[in-house]
Amino acid sequence: MNLKPILVVPGEPNSIFSEIFFKTIKTKNYKSSIILIASKKLIIAQMKKLGFKYKINEIDLKLKLKNKKDTINLINVAFNFKKPFEKITNNSNNYINNCFDVALKILKEKKTNKFLNGPISKKNFLNKKYLGITELLADKTNTKKYAMLIYHKKLSVSPITTHLPLKMVVKKIDKKIIIQKINLINDFYRNYINKKPKIAVIGINPHCETIDTFDEDKKILTPAINSLNRKGLNVEGPFSSDTIFLKQNRKHFDVIVGMYHDQVLTPIKTLYEYEPINITLGLPFIRISPDHGPNEKMVGKNLSDPTSLSKALEFLDK
C-alpha cells in the first residue's frame, strides 16, 4: 500500500513538541512516511539536549524519502537561534510562518493531504490577527466554512466559537453558523469514521434558561436543531452543560457541540486527558494537532506525555 506522507510542522520551536515527537517516533512504527519541516540545526541541537539520536535525511520538495526507524526525513527551514530551547518570544514568528508556507505549498501541489502541526504561542505568533491556527489555515487556504473538532473515538466535542473572551461569545452565535459547523461534523463522521453521528447541542445559558427577555436557546439553537433534523441529521438539544457529560447522558452521543471553548474542552480533557486530538474540518486537507499548548514550563525537561501526538499520527497513518 502506497500511503501518502504526513507533513509535520513543529510550531513554536521553544515548546515541548520536539521532545514528544522524538519520543513518539521512537516507540511507534508508522506505515506512512513522516516529513518534518523545521530547522536542521535546531532539531540536531534539541536531540542532543534531550538525549535522542536520529539520522537526518535532508530532502527538498521532490520528497525523496527514507522509511527507517532511526532516520528523520526533514525539509530544512533556516532559523537563527542561540540555544536549543529559549524563552518564547516573537523572534521565532518568521521561522514558524516559513515552515507553514512550505507545508502549504506541498499540500497545494497535492503531494499529500495529511498535515500535523505542533502548538504555537497565540500571544506571540498570532498577535490578535487570528484566534488560532484553525483560523490562520482557513485564511491561508481561502476556506470560508470550517470547524474545530476535538476528536476521541468514544466521544468528541466541538465549540461553535473557539478562542473568544466570554463577553464576545453570544454576539458570534447565530442559526447559520450552528447549522454550518454541525454539517461539517456530520460530513466528517460519514466520510472518515463511516458512521452517521449522534450529535448533542449544549445551550448557551445555565440550565438552558434565562431571566433576559431574549432566550438564545429557544430563538437560535432550537430552530437550528430542528432545521438540521429536517435534513436528515441526528441532532438533539439544547441540553444543560452541567449534566450532558454525565456518563448516563454522554453515552448516547458521538459528539457534543458547545457554544464556547471551555464549555466542552474542559470536560473532554477531564474525561480523556491527553488522548483527544484537534482536527480542523472543512480544509482541503486533513489537519490535526495534539490537543495541548507549548507548555513552556516543561520545555527541555524530558518529562512531557506524548500521547496526544501519538494519537494524532495514528489517525493520519492510513
The pLDDT value given to residue 130: 84
For residues 197 and 314, membership in a common domain is answered with no
What was the pLDDT predicted at 66? 81
**Integer Cα distance of 6 and 297 in angstroms:** 28
Residue pair 234/199 in contact (Cβ under 8 Å)? The answer is yes
**At CB < 8 A and 24+ separation, what contacts does 43-46 make?**
43/18, 43/72, 43/74, 45/81, 45/83, 45/84, 46/18, 46/19, 46/22, 46/84, 46/85
The answer to whether 277 and 308 are in contact (CB under 8 A) is yes
Check whether residue 199 and residue 139 sit in a common domain. Answer: no
Q: What is the pLDDT of residues 236-292, one digit of tens each?
A: 999 999 999 999 999 999 999 999 999 999 999 999 998 999 999 999 999 999 878
* Banded pLDDT at 44 (limits 50, 70, 90): very high
Query: What average pLDDT does this structure show over 22-43?
Result: 95
Rounded CA gap, 215 and 205, in Å?
8
The grid coordinates of residue 210 equal 434565562
- For residues 26-44, give the mean pLDDT: 94
Closest CA to 21 of 4, 5, 38, 1: 38
Same domain, 305 and 264: no
**Measuring CA to CA, how many Å separate 154 from each of 188, 260, 273?**
15, 21, 13
* The CA-based dihedral angle spanning residues 37, 40, 46, 47, taken in that order and rounded to the nearest 10 degrees: 100
> Which pairs from 298-302 meet CB under 8 Å and 24+ separation?
298/16, 299/14, 299/15, 299/16, 299/19, 299/85, 300/19, 300/49, 300/50, 300/84, 300/85, 302/19, 302/50, 302/51
Print the domain residue range for 295.
Answer: 1-143+283-318
pLDDT per residue as tens digits for the range 170-223: 899 999 999 999 999 999 999 999 999 999 999 988 887 776 677 888 999 999
Q: CB count, 10 Å around CB of 141?
A: 18
CATH number at residue 259: 3.40.718.10
Q: Using a cut of 0.75, tell me whether the model's pTM lies above it.
A: yes
Q: Quick: pLDDT tens for 87-146.
A: 999 999 999 999 999 999 999 999 999 999 999 988 888 767 788 888 899 999 999 999
Same domain, 288 and 139: yes
CB atoms within 10 A of CB 248: 7
* All cell numbers assigned to 127: 498577535
* SS3 of residue 136 by DSSP: helix
| pLDDT value of residue 24 | 95
DSSP E strands in 121-202: the ranges are 147-151, 156-159, 198-202
Q: Which amino acid is at 276?
A: P
For residues 138 and 240, state if they share a domain: no
Degrees to nearest 5, angle at CA 251 with 250 and 257:
40
The residue-averaged pLDDT of 152-171 equals: 92
The domain tally of the chain equals 2
As a whole number of angstroms, the distance between CA 28 and CA 34 comes to 12
Do 157 and 43 fall into the same domain? no
Cross-strand partners of 235: 199
- In the 8-state DSSP scheme, what is residue 296? G
Same-domain status, 305 and 275: no
Task: Tell me how far apart the alpha carbons of residues 4 and 25 are, in angstroms, rounded to a whole number.
Answer: 17
Res 123: pLDDT = 84
Same domain, 278 and 291: no
What is the rounded distance in angstroms from the CA atom of residue 232 to the CA atom of residue 174?
Answer: 21
Q: Are residues 39 and 121 in the same domain?
A: yes
Pair (12, 91) in one structural domain: yes
In angstroms, the CA 115 to CA 63 distance is: 15
Edge-first strand listing for the sheet containing 198-202: 55-59, 71-76, 34-38, 6-9, 114-117, 286-290, 277-281, 147-151, 156-159, 255-258, 198-202, 234-239
Q: Are residues 235 and 311 in the same domain?
A: no
pLDDT of residue 1: 55
Tens digit of pLDDT for each residue in 79-91?
A: 999 999 999 999 9
Q: Does 10 lie in the same domain as 139?
A: yes
